[in-house]
Amino acid sequence: MKLSLSVRVAESFRNKKKATLTIDELITLAKNNGYEALCMRASQAGTHSSTETIREKSEKIRASGLTVSMVTADFAVPMNDHHGPGSLSNISPSLDIATAFGANLIRICMKSEDDVARAKRASDEAAERGIRLAHQSHFGSLFETTAGALRVIEAVDRSNFGIIYEPANWWCVGQDYGPEIIKRLGTHIFNAYTQNHRFNSESDVYLDTWTQGRVGLDHIGIWEQGGVDSEAMFEGLHAVGYDGFVTVHQSFAGVMSIEESVRKSAEFLKPLMAKR
């Protein structure tokens, strides 16, 4: 497994459009803490960005020795609203962003059954360029439940279409995210995200889920107890021979020190990634 840092660590939980760190600061943070890649999002560069901006940031990442594990090419996908699936109808701009950053994986969004046919067409176009598409196990989407995720993966039925396995979202809605579901997902896992929460019904931070209604949360470090069982997560990933990226996807801005949290996350994850 390889350790990746999402640029989301420098975004606030609610505002996914503005970054609190520059690409230079994120590169330094990743390099100083042993990360091998950045997971790029539109808060740094995306389909709205100029060609010059994309080229400049891509060159900086390459020069640092880091790679790009995945791109989320527009703001609508992580916003997970009704605009989220829009890129499926015109995947070319997202493919261009992935190509510019040397990445072969793009995050997409699916909200309705109509998106299955769009995902098939988008996957076919992506395959022509050697690029894969993946959907996060995300609340308020067709992947909010494990059954829904497995059904959609089967329905799309493309070898370059898979899932970004992220246990915290499934934990929040009471889904099994451990070794058994990982075995069922198998080679369809294209990326693994890590973040962590603790239930708090009084919190002003919440998720509006389809199956559990509004779920109140506190953000806690990946290394803290009371949320996701990371041992179970990595037991499953090792069992299926997963050797892709493990991406720190936590939103730290405005919650805790970004620099300290990025360091602690790496220190916590590296032994789990290596464990056999």
Residue 208 class from Cβ within 10 Å (0-12 exposed, 13-18 middle, 19+ buried)?
exposed
Distance CA 107, CA 225 (A): 28
pLDDT of residue 5: 98
pLDDT at 276: 67
Residue 25: what pLDDT?
A: 96
Beta-bridge mates of residue 246? 3, 192
Helix (H, G, I), strand (E, B) or coil at 69: strand
Spatial contact of 205 and 259, defined as CB atoms under 8 Å apart: no
Phi and psi at 95, nearest 5°, equal -60, -40
Compute the distance between CA of residue 32 and CA of residue 256 in angstroms, rounded to an integer: 19
Whose tokens are 């995720």? That residue is: 149
Tokens 């909200």 sit on residue: 111
Query: Do 140 and 180 touch, CB atoms closer than 8 A?
Result: no
Sequence-separated (6 or more) residues with CB below 8 Å from residue 95: 106, 125, 126, 129, 131
Structural contact between residues 82 and 51, judged by C-beta atoms closer than 8 angstroms:
no
Q: How far apart are CA 3 and CA 190, in angstroms?
A: 14
Note the pTM of the prediction, 2 decimals: 0.95
pLDDT at 251: 79
**What structural domains and CATH numbers belong to the chain?**
2-274 (3.20.20.150)
DSSP state of 40: E
pLDDT digit string (tens) for the chain, length 276 residues: 999 999 999 886 666 778 889 999 999 999 999 999 999 999 999 999 999 999 999 999 999 999 999 999 999 999 999 999 999 999 999 999 999 999 999 999 999 999 999 999 999 999 999 999 999 999 999 999 999 999 999 999 999 999 999 999 999 999 999 999 999 999 999 999 999 999 999 988 899 999 999 999 988 999 999 999 999 999 999 999 999 999 999 877 777 889 999 999 999 999 999 976
- 101 conformational bin, left if phi > 0, alpha if psi -120 to 50, beta if neither: alpha
